Amino acid sequence: MRIALFVTCLADTMFPQAAIATVRLLERLGHEVAFPQGQTCCGQMHVNTGYQRDAVPLVRRHVDVFDTYDVIVAPSGSCVGSVRHQHAMVARRAGDERLAGRAESVARRTYELSELLVDVLGVTDVGAYYPHRVTYHPTCHSSRMLRVGDRPRRLLSEVRGLTLVELPAADQCCGFGGTFAVKNAETSTAMLADKMRHVLATGADVCAASDASCLMHIGGGLSRLRTGVGVVHLAEILASTEQAATSRAEILGSTEQAATSPAANRPAARP
């Protein structure tokens, strides 16, 4: 199948490994990935901050760029949420009914990664190998806006070597919320503190999620506290294979060790 990648601006700039992993995974599963060049950002930041008028050209650009593809995937629950629940709204508010209709059509063909894999491609075992203890943060937009449900967990449960540990209060927001983390930095930090407390309580090596923004937020907090626990995008787990893991370890040597094994200095926070 030919699948267009909507990389999302944050993954493109700050989390390219998630997008690269998405490409590798889909190609390994035998699909052709296209990267439409004119794409930039879905405009979610503008819409969620109140700049709906500024978002209109971004919606139009997104629709123009992706209109010709039958299947579009993004490794981000919140950006797919924006495409599905905000694009038509922004267009209608600006009085552009035609754009709204086209946006709805693109939205119907746009999937979050776990939806694409499970619903469209019909796979849960993607042949991945990831020998680590992983806890999964479902992220608000994936679970409440998109209702991806247990799809990510079904995918993770088929990954060889992976131990999935339950995240307490998993459905609670991590406190990112885009501009919320800037405008209400202190409340955001308090929410993040609880999320980190729960992640550490699992004793997991890494916290996984399907949204670069939440990962950047949680990862930024875990790093600041020197917890030794990292974050990883679902796509990276699903893309990793035994072969890749071995060759990566050879190339990176001790760096890889430090990044993915439980660090000795991590606080003893197991329940």
Smallest separation, CB 178 to another protein (Å): 8
Taking the complex as a whole, the smallest distance from the CB of residue 160 to another protein amounts, in Å, to: 27
Residue with tokens 């754009």: 99
Q: Tokens at residue 266, please?
A: 């991590």
Nearer to another protein, 188 or 240 (CB): 188
- Min dist CB 53 to another protein, Å, is 8
- Least separation, in Å, of the C-beta of 162 and another protein? 23
Q: Which positions lie near another protein, rule CB under 8 A? A: 7, 9, 11-17, 19-20, 23, 35, 37-41, 43, 45-55, 57-58, 61, 86, 93, 140-141, 144-145, 171-173, 175-192, 216-217, 219-221, 223-224
Q: How far apart are CA 67 and CA 162, in angstroms?
A: 38
| Between 141 and 151, CB nearer to another protein | 141
CB of 189 to another protein, least distance (A): 4
36: CB partners within 8 A, 6+ apart: 4, 5, 65, 66, 69
**Closer to another protein at the Cβ: 16 or 101?**
16
Q: Which one, 54 or 242, has the nearer CB to another protein?
A: 54
Alpha carbons 24 and 14: distance in angstroms, whole number: 18
How is 217-252 classified by DSSP, letter by letter? HHHHHHHHTT---EEEEHHHHHH--HHHHHHHHHHH
Tell me the CA distances in angstroms from 80 to 47, 85, 150, one per residue in order.
14, 8, 17
| 254 Cβ contact list (under 8 Å, min separation 6) | none
Length of the chain measured in residues: 271
Q: Which is nearer to another protein, 143 or 202 (CB)?
A: 143
Q: What are phi and psi of 133, to 5 degrees?
A: -90, 120
Alpha helices in 109-184 (DSSP H): 113-115, 140, 151-157, 180-183
As measured in angstroms, the least distance from the Cβ of 18 to another protein is 9
* Torsional sign, CA 165, 194, 114, 204: negative
Name which of 81 and 159 has its Cβ closer to another protein. Answer: 81
Nearest to 76 by CA among 152, 142, 173: 142
Return the number of the residue (35 or 166) whose C-beta is nearest another protein: 35
Give min distance, CB of 35 to another protein, in A. Answer: 5
